[in-house]
Amino acid sequence: MCLVLMVSCSPESSTAPSQSGLPKAADIDVTITVNQTTDSVTFKLNNKGENPIWYFSDGKVSTVNGCSKVFSMAGTYSVEIKVSNANGISEGSVIKQFTINNSLIDKTIYVKLAGSSSKVWVWDQNTAGHLGCGPAGSNGTDWYSAKPNEKASMNMYDNSFIFTTGGNYTFDPGAGGTVLVNVGCSIFKSYNTTGSDFLVPVSSQTTTYQITMDGGNTYIAFPAKTLLGYVPNDDIYNTPKFRILTLTSSLLELVADNGTIAWHYRFIPKE
């Protein structure tokens, strides 16, 4: 005799997402705590059973409840907040403002960078490693280090970079009227026809710059698509932020790091 066990199956009970269960922006309750000594700001969502999404003005996003961020320059800042739960993300958002009273930036940085009013920098073309690259987190010379005058035929040394104490920046392409772009970039596609680094005609560009701090490092940050000589990749072109490695009255070394590769720039004052 065969005993056959028949088991009837029925759909398991489920908690499918419900549109009516979406969190409401009007109910978002957050606490923003500013430490005016360290310029560190902590962001906390108080809604139980919900998770925050913080959209910061520098383009960074965090989903950590209780995350902290340093704002090194005095001023009023804003953060946009959305929340999520098992049903999805809130359709709306709220914007909260907070104020930093004091700047952490060393004021001598501006004097070294821009002199008494303005200062012109150029590539340190006679020094090995004036352009280089390396792994993310490095100073950007481990994988490649340009030889002295290696880029002379590419008009790169025609470029000059002008900083003012008022926070203005000018890129001057010089007599060549071009900027050198890495072959791996997807920007300026129509000029990328040689299978190697290529030149793009550009005009003089005047914009602004900002000295910022993040994680104990000091940076020069520019608006999107600001040129600082060599364009190494799309990320740095779209979000030009350079860590200050060395800054004296006679030497400026910067590192641009997109988390995958670090690029090294070395400049000296134009004499």
Tens-place pLDDT, residues 225-247: 999 999 999 999 999 999 999 99
Please indicate, yes or no, if residue 160 is contained in any of the structural domains. yes
User: CA-to-CA distance for 161 and 179, rounded, in angstroms?
Assistant: 12
Please indicate, yes or no, if residue 118 is contained in any of the structural domains. yes
Q: Is residue 171 located within the same domain as residue 63?
A: no
User: Among 101, 122, 107, 237, which Cα is nearest to 167's?
Assistant: 107
Q: Is residue 156 located within the same domain as residue 249?
A: yes
Q: Is residue 142 located within the same domain as residue 43?
A: no
Q: Is residue 171 located within the same domain as residue 79?
A: no
| Buried residues in 240-260 as b, exposed as e (16+ CB within 10 A) | bbbbbbebeeebbbbbbbbee
Q: 12: burial class by Cβ within 10 Å (0-12, 13-18, 19+)?
A: exposed
CATH label of the domain that carries residue 40: 2.60.40.10
Q: Is residue 161 located within the same domain as residue 118?
A: yes
Q: Is residue 128 located within the same domain as residue 217?
A: yes
Q: How far is CA 103 from CA 96, 112, 139, in A?
A: 21, 18, 26
Number of domains in the chain: 2
Q: Which of these three, 100, 133, 159, is where a domain ends? A: 100
Average pLDDT, the chain: 91
User: CA-to-CA distance for 206 and 192, rounded, in angstroms?
Assistant: 25
Please indicate, yes or no, if residue 189 is contained in any of the structural domains. yes
Which tokens sit at 92? 């709306």
Lowest mean pLDDT among 65-74, 124-133, 199-208, 240-249: 65-74
Q: Please tell me which of 4-18, 20-34, 73-87, 126-140 the model is most confident about, judged by mean pLDDT.
A: 126-140
**HSE-CB for 249 with a 13 A CA cutoff:** 4
Looking at the predicted structure, is the pLDDT value of residue 12 above 80?
A: no
Q: Is residue 87 located within the same domain as residue 112?
A: no
User: Among 95, 100, 211, 104, which Cα is nearest to 163's?
Assistant: 211
Give the pTM: 0.68
Q: Is residue 202 located within the same domain as residue 126?
A: yes
Q: Which of these three, 100, 133, 163, is where a domain ends? A: 100
Which tokens sit at 13? 């009970």
User: CA-to-CA distance for 14 and 74, rounded, in angstroms?
Assistant: 50
Identify the pLDDT of residue 148: 98
Q: Is residue 94 located within the same domain as residue 136?
A: no
Identify the pLDDT of residue 3: 41
Name every residue whose Cβ is closer than 8 Å to that of residue 82 and which is 6 or more positions away in sequence: 25, 52, 53, 55, 89, 90, 92, 93
Identify the pLDDT of residue 15: 57
* pLDDT (average), residues 195-208: 96
**Cα angle, residue 170 at apex, residues 164 and 173 outer, rounded to 5°:** 145
Amino acid at 172: D
Identify the pLDDT of residue 207: 97
Q: Is residue 89 located within the same domain as residue 112?
A: no
User: CA-to-CA distance for 175 and 141, rounded, in angstroms?
Assistant: 28
Count CB neighbours of 164 within 10 A. 18
User: CA-to-CA distance for 214 and 204, rounded, in angstroms?
Assistant: 30
Q: Is residue 259 located within the same domain as residue 130?
A: yes
Judged by phi (left if over 0) then psi (alpha if -120 to 50, else beta), residue 49 lies in: left
Please indicate, yes or no, if residue 17 is contained in any of the structural domains. no
Q: Is residue 127 located within the same domain as residue 85?
A: no
Lowest mean pLDDT among 101-110, 193-202, 250-259: 101-110
Q: What domain range is 204 assigned to?
A: 108-269
